[in-house]
Amino acid sequence: MTSLVDPRRAYVSVMRTIRGALQRTGALKLLDARTDRRWAHWARSQFAIYDFEDLAALDSPWWSYDSIDEVDAWLGDRTDIRAFEWGSGASTIWLLKRVDELISIEHDAEFANSVRDISGVGENLLTIEPTTSSNPAIPSGRKGHDGLDFSDYVNAIDRFDGSFDLICIDGRARTDCLRKGLERLAPGGIVVFDNSDRERYASALNDNELQIETHRSWAPALPTKSSTSIVRPIVSSTKGAS
Ligand SMILES: C[S@@+](CC[C@H](N)C(=O)[O-])C[C@H]1O[C@@H](n2cnc3c(N)ncnc32)[C@H](O)[C@@H]1O
């Protein structure tokens, strides 16, 4: 027998109700003032789940906290960082403040407009919707995405010259984005691959030419721990040697 209640929807709905109550009593403002502390950031973000504007104000990508810290440390004092992301959102806002150039690809036109309105990313956010196909060359394994081809979305990186120091994969057709992204990663660059614990990504990540550093921890706007991996190609010193 299937359950009549979708647990995710139920969680969002409960959080919205509590947010309304906290807003009315002024408690939300008190929590907002403490979000420099991780516990308060996490607690506040639970009320921002699937509310892009609210999450955007919290200045953090929707990745595990430990991976955010790692990427932040990697960015450090680096300058001239060129970044590319598949899957826009709160990460777009966070990255725009920290990199010199960001290209973002989004498959959902309505969501892309919200991100453009709030982030100021402008034309560097491209909306690339999937096409319908009975035999998609690049499908998405996500529920409800049968008959959709994400080839244009994945190949959008080919519209840009040069290499990227930071590539974030957090949208659709992630394993194909990984394959494409690795071809365009600058030497010393990193790929951020979110939700890397999903079974459907395992074979692409289980590649002995890749160094995978998985950060499983609490994450903003999620009630459970989540995994985000930092992927680097293994550079063999003997490669090319005769
Ligand atoms: C996991 S989200 C990408 C999140 C983004 N990289 C970030 O850090 O916020 C993957 C896709 O979900 C959709 N999405 C992101 N945030 C959303 C929100 N608040 N509400 C509805 N859909 C959202 C977008 O289509 C996005 O490409």
> What confidence tens digit (pLDDT) does each residue in 64-86 have?
999 999 999 999 999 999 999 99
| Percent residues over pLDDT 90 in the chain | 93
Q: Please tell me if the CB atom of residue 67 comes closer than 6 angstroms to any atom of ligand 1.
A: no
CA of 237 to the centre of ligand 1 (A): 39
Q: Where are the domains of the chain?
A: 7-53, 65-233
192 lines ligand 1 (CB under 6 A): no
Q: How confident is the model at residue 16 (pLDDT cuts 50, 70, 90)?
A: very high
For the CA of 107, the closest atom of ligand 1 is 25
Write down the pLDDT at residue 238: 56
What global pTM score does this model have?
0.94
Output the CA 99–ligand 1 centroid distance in Å. Answer: 20
Nearest residue by C-alpha to atom 21 in ligand 1: 50
Ligand 1 close to Cβ of residue 153 (< 6 A): no
- Specify the amino acid at residue 75: L
pLDDT for position 2: 54
What's the confidence (pLDDT) of residue 92?
Answer: 98
In this predicted structure, the answer to whether residue 23 has a pLDDT above a threshold of 60 is yes
* Residue 239 pLDDT exceeds 90: no
Name the pLDDT band for 242 (thresholds 50, 70, 90).
very low
Helices (H) and strands (E) in the chain, counts: 10, 9
Sequence-ordered list of residues with C-beta below 8 angstroms from that of 235, at least 6 positions apart, any chain = 187
Q: Is 220 in the pocket of ligand 1 (CB under 6 A)?
A: no
CA 91 – ligand 1 centroid, Å:
9
**Nearest CA residue ID for atom 3, ligand 1:** 87
Residue 236 has a pLDDT of 80
CA of 37 to the centre of ligand 1 (A): 24
Alpha helix segments (H runs only) across 26-86? 27-32, 38-45, 52-56, 65-75
Closest residue by CA, ligand 1 atom 16:
89
Atom of ligand 1 minimally distant from the CA of 86:
27
Residue 5: pLDDT band with limits 50, 70, 90:
confident
pLDDT at 93 over 50: yes
List pLDDT tens digits, range 168-180.
999 999 999 999 9
Q: Which residues contact 154 (CB under 8 A, 6 or more apart)?
A: 86, 138, 173, 176, 177, 180
Letter for the amino acid at 114?
S
Pick the CATH number of 65-233 from 1.10.357.10, 1.10.3720.10, 3.40.50.150, 3.40.50.10320: 3.40.50.150
Residue 235: its pLDDT value, please?
A: 87
Question: Does ligand 1 come within 6 angstroms of the Cβ of 106?
Answer: yes
Residue owning tokens 């590649």? 207
pLDDT tens-digit series, residues 36-61: 999 999 999 999 999 999 999 999 99
